[in-house]
Structure 1
């Protein structure tokens, strides 16, 4: 019976020997680096990230507080820039991917916790791209796994001939993941704070919960209340048709 490590080595060797998947790995390296370089440089220069976001937005609260943490804020930017540079250098991709992953995973969780439109679909895509790079460089770190067999031949000693066969199934899965992240996941939220008060109110136009929606937006952008408090108030508010006429007793 083939061991787990032997099975993983075989799959990894097949992947590494495909020219299209090699191009995809390079694309992910460049894309991830491009995502962190500007964000990291903004923090290093001491500027507030996402300056167009209102301070009262749940994500705005976080970014505003983070901006006032002195060298902690700067250190995050340094870590992002280092991770990006390491991904661009062929000899340090594995180290860069390991440094990048906890940062982007934290951003992804934070995005969904605050329902932040700015990275609602890009954050999970970046997490998936990071996981692909970790898998691509599996041969560099597999020895830390408890089930790995050190006596097995390293997959890097295999054939160097690259296959030109286009992996249709794999890229169909990539396309499906993009569709889910861009269309499916953001639609999980019936309402979102949006980035501004006007954008927030616009999502309730034509609905039967206009007033409840406007109160929700005011709760977020004007009063600066926690997201959960504003959501609870919205869910408990009646529909427009169920509200008593103005001036009635």
Structure 2
């Protein structure tokens, strides 16, 4: 059996489950809600957050805010992707537009250790990937498989299997738990959103004095995250 045929069979099996249909609709709605409001903020030309410019993410967003129509264009694409996801006939196009934007946000969030989207952005990436997999027949022709894909009719609502997919949702719960654990415990030190919030982690750190220096380096001096982390680790070296 070819890989293309096997994927077709797996997809057909998933599309016959009513719970997965409902989960897909939920993902589409949540992803749209996650992009449309912040996209409108950008279109209106307003600053996206109230973070200090000394904060790594605040510095980035401040620079982005001053890029003029580029900032507006990002907002337009976010709103467009969100709206397309809500329309059944344009879901695939919306998901394709959505993916590179949310992947960029996810990588940025981890790079600057931003708590505001450190948890939500990877979950949104996973939800976006799920939607792309759900609509696999719409784009599978671009894959380098020797055997051409066979188009099939999607089952109607009354034809759907009502059996609850325990293994699938257990996997969803496990993925959610892993993302939460990494967001909370993935890094020893976080800049947090304010100086006061940053300092709350210092008492439990391996080197409280170095931690306070790190927080001052970020929020008072506005130094790059890597430089502040280097200072912290050097202070903890014997």
Report the TM-score when normalising by structure 2: 0.95
What is the Cα deviation at residue 98 of structure 1? Answer: 0.3
SS at match of 1:15: helix
For the residues of structure 2 that align with 1:115 and 1:143, how far apart are their CA atoms? 38
In the other structure, the counterpart of 2:4 is: 5
> 1:46 aligns to what?
45
Q: Tell me the alpha carbon deviations over residues 83-113 of structure 1, each in whole angstroms, 9 at most, x when there is no partner.
A: 0000000000000000000000000000000
Query: Structure 1 residues 92 and 68 mapped into 2: Cα distance closer, same or farther (>3 Å)?
Result: same
Displacement of 1:153 after TM fit? 2.7
Matches of 1:214 and 1:68, distance apart in 2: 31
Higher mean Cα deviation, 76-85 or 54-63?
54-63
On the 8 A contact 1:4/1:148 being kept in 2, the answer is no
Which of the numbers 174, 177, 181 marks the counterpart of 1:176?
174
Match of 1:201 in 2: 199
Alignment gaps of 5+ in structure 1: 243-249
Residue in structure 2 matched with residue 141 of structure 1 by the alignment = 139
State the alpha-carbon separation in 2 of the partners of residues 135 and 194 from structure 1. 35
Task: Choose the corresponding residue for 1:111, options 95, 102, 109.
Answer: 109
- How many residues align structurally? 236
Residues 161-172 of structure 1 aligned to structure 2 (within 5 Å):
161-172=159-170
Distance 1:144 1:206, change over 3 A: closer
Measured after TM superposition, the shift of residue 208 of structure 1 is: 5.1
CA deviation map 1:175-195 (0-9, x unaligned): 011111112343110100000
Matches within 5 A, 1:1-249: 2-51=1-50, 53-147=51-145, 149-150=147-148, 152-155=149-152, 157=153, 159-160=155-156, 161-207=159-205, 209-238=207-236
Q: For residues 182 and 238 of structure 1, do their structure 2 counterparts lie closer, same or farther at Cα, with a shift above 3 Å needed?
A: closer
Structure with greater Cα Rg: 1
Q: Which SS does the other structure have where 1:78 is aligned?
A: helix
| 1:64 to partner: Cα distance | 0.4
Cα pair distance change 1:32/1:158, threshold 3 Å: closer
**Structure 2: 5+ residue stretches without partners:** none
Task: Render the CA deviation track for 1:146-184: whole Å, top value 9, x for unaligned.
Answer: 10633x4313x2654210110000000000111111123
SS of equivalent residue, structure 2 residue 161: coil
Match of 1:247 in 2: none
SS in 2 for 1:50: coil
